[in-house]
Amino acid sequence: MPNLIPSKKFLSDIDAFRSDAALRKKLAKTLNFLASNPQHPGLNIERIINDPTAWSIRIDRRHRIAFEPRAYLPSGNPDWSVDILLLRCLDHDDLYKSPR
């Protein structure tokens, strides 16, 4: 199981959701899936094309989390057993424009 390491921007992003209890619940569920099974199909993991090391997962239809695996296997796939750096938590379009 990987450790999830939040960046300062990630913490700032989720602070904006303080008043939205439903979104905070979805965020907690998504982070739990990422920590327990990063390849869970409900996460809908995608590469972020304009950033070669960033990936995204879905919170809901509108919001995404950008993250960066801290290590890769020789095949080029992420090593899901090591730490994961949480980069941002934003609206879909905003995240894909600026994942860091």
User: In the chain, helix, strand, coil percent, each to 5?
Assistant: 35, 25, 40
Per-residue pLDDT of 39-64, as tens digits, reads: 899 999 999 998 888 999 999 999 99
Note the pLDDT of residue 12: 94
DSSP alpha helices (H): ranges in the chain? 8-15, 21-36, 92-97
Note the pLDDT of residue 77: 84
Task: Give the residue-averaged pLDDT of 60-73.
Answer: 93
Q: How many angstroms separate the CA atoms of 18 and 37, rounded?
A: 26
User: Other C-beta atoms within 10 Å of 73: how many?
Assistant: 11
pLDDT category at 21 given cuts 50, 70, 90 is very high
Domain ranges, ordered by start, for the chain: 4-97
Residue 88 is inside which H or E element, if any?
Answer: strand 84-91
Q: Is the pLDDT of residue 2 over 90?
A: no
Whole-model pTM: value is: 0.91
- The mean of the pLDDT values for the chain is 92
The CATH fold of domain 4-97? YaeB-like fold (3.30.2310)
